[in-house]
Amino acid sequence: MRVFFHTFGCKANQYDTERMRQESQARGLAATADLGSADVCVVNTCTVTNAADAEAKRFIRRIKRESPRTQIVVAGCSAVLRTGEYTEMNGVASVVPGHDPVQVAAAVVGAVLDAGPPPRALLQLGMDRGLDGSHLEPIGAAILDRREGATRGWLKVQDGCDRKCAFCATRLARGASRSRSAGDIILEARMLSRHHPELVLTGIHIGHYGRDLEGPITLSILLARLLDAVPDVRFRLGSIEATEIDELLLKLLRSSGGRVAPHLHMPLQSGADPVLHRMKRWHTREAYRARAFQVADAVGRIGLGADIITGFPGETDGDHGDTMSLVEELPFTYLHVFPFSPKDGTAASALPDPVPQRVAGERSRELRALAQEKHRRYRASRAGEASVVTLEARGRRALTGDYLRVDVATGVEAEVDVAGAGRGAGAGGEAYKRLHSGVLRGSGDDLYVELDATIAPQSIWAASGMESPPHSHVSSA
């Protein structure tokens, strides 16, 4: 029996889908990339806006039209807040409110049993023997083995959020912040490192990692422990609030020799204090500005990104101008800009003074144009400099530590055994399981990397151009 998985939304959702896939495989089912051949389709939904809910429902209706025999299991954030609506949809066999991989796998098995013969016996991951029926929670329930078909692995460190931003429904669906144990995270990182040369620490609010755990543990201390416990892997932080970047994290960015990717994504949302206040954000324009410059001064070359919402209720032309001027001033290398879209159940959906969608759209386009120009200037400034990259897109593209996607110079594939690896990430190709060093060439949109196959893996961090890493990150912390 074959299962197709489709994910809407963030990296945390993508991680959850991988856990669902692994649990289903542990129960004898096979994952497939071909929806037409699938017996069951798992839809992992997002609820960041009303539009996200609607998109998931459109996809479910399309599945039913194109593959009427396919059973549908709905899970994720939207399934938490709109359980009844999905239950009533034609073709939906089961709805799992949330992201529990064991519950989703059980729902998939139930859908399969309704559709045909039972799957094979339960399998302990990493072992060949079957398990008796009393074992209801295979190893996959706790530790993710790999991110299927991808060069980079997602490493989820926490779930949920304790903040109450006016525009956000994710906390309503995900609940309070809950941290995974450092031991489980390190074990999972070691598992993932067998397949992925870069691991991205992700979650819903990773800056709050450790606040609910006993002992002195923070995100930066966890990162120091990961650096010591899992060698020869590059770690990258997912989205983190500017106010939650502490001195140890800056030190690790500066002194890890590039093993902590020089890249931070710090949500801004607005560059105007009145809008930040209405959004129920906890930082001011100046606090964010000061931290951004502190990061840039401490690390040097760094990819710096942010999220911005335009047209939030009550945003004036002057507020938009303040955001534009702050973006112009700060060393951003890219931005994610979105016009405000209301979400039922959030405080923002009831705010007065809505901004017309036309105006919100115009403001988004202005910010995107500014961000694209800053991005081009930064790319051009990197020409001639060394970089450590992961390979993507069958070896035709690469991702730098500072979050630039660049072409791979034509003719170098054989030198790094990309052609020999052949089928790319997730297909066993060794070239995709390690990092590569090279020099960036070209300019702007035409930036590419010339890979250097002569640098041994143990020397690769020296090619980053950053400080040499200390013997022990934990002891140095």
Among 417, 370, 369, residue whose Cα is nearest residue 394: 417
> How far is Cα 360 from Cα 121, in angstroms, rounded to an integer?
54
Instruction: Give the global pTM.
Output: 0.90
Looking from the CA of 71 toward its CB, the CA atoms found within 13 Å total: 19
Looking at the predicted structure, is the pLDDT value of residue 5 above 90?
yes
Domains in the chain (CATH in brackets) are 2-141 (3.40.50.12160), 152-380 (3.80.30.20), 386-472 (no CATH)
Helix 182-192 to helix 219-229 angle, to the nearest 10 degrees? 40
Going through 47-196 in order, the beta strands assigned E by DSSP cover: 71-76, 92-97, 152-156, 158-159, 178-179
Q: How confident is the model at residue 142 (pLDDT cuts 50, 70, 90)?
A: confident
Tokens matching residue 123 = 């399998």
How far is the C-alpha of 86 from the C-alpha of 204, rounded, in Å?
Answer: 24
Quick check: 93 pLDDT over 70? Answer: yes
Going by pLDDT thresholds of 50, 70 and 90, the confidence category of residue 394 is confident
Instruction: Round to whole Å and give the CA distance between 60 and 66.
Output: 10
pLDDT band for 465, please (50, 70, 90 cuts). low
CA separation for the pair 18, 11 (Å, rounded) = 11
**What is the Cα–Cα distance from 3 to 115, expressed in whole angstroms?**
12
Confidence of residue 432 (pLDDT cuts 50, 70, 90): confident
Q: How many other C-beta atoms are found inside a 10 Å radius of the C-beta of residue 352? A: 7
**Beta strands at 40-45 and 2-7: parallel, antiparallel or unpaired:** parallel
Exposure b/e, 282-302, CB count within 10 A at least 16 = b: ebebeebbebbeebbeebebb
Tokens 């991005």 -> residue: 375
The tens digit of pLDDT for each residue in 268-299 reads: 999 999 999 999 999 999 999 999 999 999 99
Is 365's pLDDT higher than 60?
yes
State in Å, rounded, how far the first CA of the chain is from the last one. 50
Dihedral, CA atoms, 209, 211, 213, 218, nearest 10 degrees? 50
Q: Check pLDDT > 50 for residue 414.
A: no
> How do residues 216-266 score in pLDDT, each as one tens digit?
899 999 999 999 999 989 999 999 999 999 999 999 999 999 999 999 999
Going from the C-alpha of 72 to that of each of 52, 57, 177, the distances in angstroms are: 18, 12, 30
List pLDDT tens digits, range 314-356. Answer: 999 999 999 999 999 999 999 999 999 999 999 999 999 999 9
Mean pLDDT of the chain: 88
Rounded CA-CA distance 247/234 in Å is 20
Confidence at residue 203, expressed as pLDDT on a 0 to 100 scale: 97
- State the DSSP string of 378-432: HHHHTTT-EEEEEEEGGGTEEEETTS-EEEEPTT-TTTTTHHHH-S-TTTT-GGG
